[in-house]
Amino acid sequence: RKEVEQDPGPFNVPEGATVAFNCTYSNSASQSFFWYRQDCRKEPKLLMSVYSSGNEDGRFTAQLNRASQYISLLIRDSKLSDSATYLCVVLTGANNLFFGTGTRLTVIP
């Protein structure tokens, strides 16, 4: 079983839609969680860290469910500029970083 699993998509949604991605992790001792955004052929960029109580940044909401071992990312009012691949990253112990393979989102006009 992979350490981190994501639905690869693609998710094709119309502008203005709400879309959610999940990412499951296998190690219950995982301690830090992040969502990154990656545009085609470019470097991943931090979108947001995921805190235990959940956190929001504008149209983006991240949540952590330790009992079921998944993190989620919710994007409200999707914009064309949100089209990208979204990577979840899980840290388990010192420098044991695991990356999901990414979920591809396309927002359609």
Residues near another protein (CB under 8 A): 31-32, 34, 41-46, 49, 87, 89, 91, 94-95, 97, 99-102
Which residue matches tokens 């504008």? 58
Q: Are 56 and 39 in contact (CB under 8 A)?
A: no
CB of 34 vs another protein, minimal distance in Å = 6
d(CA 46, CA 37): 6
Nearer to another protein, 18 or 31 (CB): 31
Q: How many CB atoms lie within 10 A of CB 98?
A: 17
Nearer to another protein, 64 or 78 (CB): 64
CB of 13 vs another protein, minimal distance in Å = 23
CB of 12 vs another protein, minimal distance in Å = 20
31 Ramachandran zone, left/alpha/beta (phi>0; psi -120 to 50)? alpha
Nearer to another protein, 88 or 107 (CB): 88
